[in-house]
Structures are given as structure tokens and as C-alpha cells.
Amino acid sequence: MSHRAGRTRWRRFAVVLVPGVAACATVGIAMAQGVLAASFFISGQKFQVAADKLTARGFSLYGMVDVTREHQLVPVVVSGFRHATVDGLCQSVVVDVPVLGTQTLRLTGGTGRPAEASNLFIDATSESVGEANFGGLDIGVAQGAVTKGPIRSGDRNSRFFDPDGVAQQSLSTTLNDVRVTAVAVSAGTFNIPGLRLRVEQGNHSCF
């Protein structure tokens, strides 16, 4: 996995900045992104999401395809969590800004007290976990038969969702040292204690 976030043009900086600021303002947002594949285009910019520990009740893992405004198709693996607590959350994106050079937009939180999310979905192009523990695990279940973890409502109605495709589900999971390269993150609610958003000179990506 690359240890540097993807780089992009300055005009795309706002694509990541605006959702981050919105999260700071609401802290416990109803993002209405449960219809990700059907309702909006992704920017296509990859960013990093990291966590020291993620504990969840109701976990699912399945394949999907997201779409950019230019109608480019981006294959992703969707990790769904019905209810999750996140310790040591970090999100970052590195951009090259004309004149100013390399800048990092970095969001952190959940250090003293864990962040909590419901119906959390991470659309990833790559991910790694230092240690994973599952309870009530099923591997090879059909995507259309997943019941232990959440499936985004919009995904079920997407032309890219294969009800006979291979999925994974579990009643519970604990993931340590989580490292994800993602193109989208959505949640029904996301409460982040101690949330901090800052722009820093140079490369200060999460991992």
C-alpha cells in the first residue's frame, strides 16, 4: 500500500475540505449518503482513513462500483458497520497547491473518548488491518443475503450491485491498526469528540 496520499489539482481541494468543515459544524450528522451509488458522484480523489481501533456490532463487506462526475467507474470494497466506535481517528488528503507547494488537510478525533457512528460505510480501494477479530463470521454469503451487517439502501438498487456476488458478514468485529485508502465515507450519524481539522504545510498524511 502506498504511504502517500494521492495528489490532485488545487480546485479539488474543496471537495474534501467542505465535507470536513460540515462535519465539524454538526458533529453527529445525518449525511443522507446511504444512497451513495445512486444519489451523487464521487470526486474520485483518494484519501486516507486510519484508526487505532474500530469496534463494531453488525459488519458487512461487499463489492461495489462508484461513479465520478466524468462517469468514470471506480471499483471499491464497501465495509459496512451497523454501529461502530472508533479510537484514534485520522483522515488526510495531500494536495499540491500552486505557489504554496504540498499541503495536507488532516482531520483527527476520538482520542480521549472514542468516536461513535451508526450505519457507517467506507468505500475503499485498499485497506489493511494489523489484527482482526470476528464474532459469528460468514465468508462467501451472497450479497443479497447479508443480514448481520448493513447494506446501503442505494446500493441494493444500483445496477452495480450483484445479489449473487460474494460478501462477508459478522455479528461483531474488532479491528486494530486500521489503514484505509478510500474514495468515500458516509454515515447515518457520526459523533466525533475532540474533532480537529487543520491544513499543514508538507506531507502529514495519516500513514
Taking every pair of Cα atoms in the chain, the longest distance, rounded to a whole number of angstroms, is: 53
What single-letter amino acid sits at 37? A
Question: Distance (Å, rounded) from C-alpha 105 to C-alpha 87?
Answer: 20
The candidate with the shortest Cα–Cα distance to 115, out of 15, 13, 8, 187, is 187
Length of the chain measured in residues: 207
pLDDT tens-digit series, residues 181-192: 999 999 999 999
Report percent pLDDT > 90 for the chain: 78
Residue 3 scores a pLDDT above 60: no
Pair 86, 118: CB distance under 8 Å:
no
Task: For residue 11, give the 3-state DSSP assignment.
Answer: helix
Coil vs helix vs strand at 136: coil
Q: Nine-digit cell at 172?
A: 461483531
- The average pLDDT across 86-91 equals 98
Write the pLDDT tens digit of every residue in 140-161. 999 999 999 999 988 998 999 9
| Residue of 98, 122, 87, 94 whose CA lies nearest to 193 | 87
pLDDT value at residue 198: 95
Identity of the residue numbered 1: M
Please tell me the predicted confidence (pLDDT) of residue 61.
98
pLDDT band at 136 (very low <50, low <70, confident <90, very high): very high
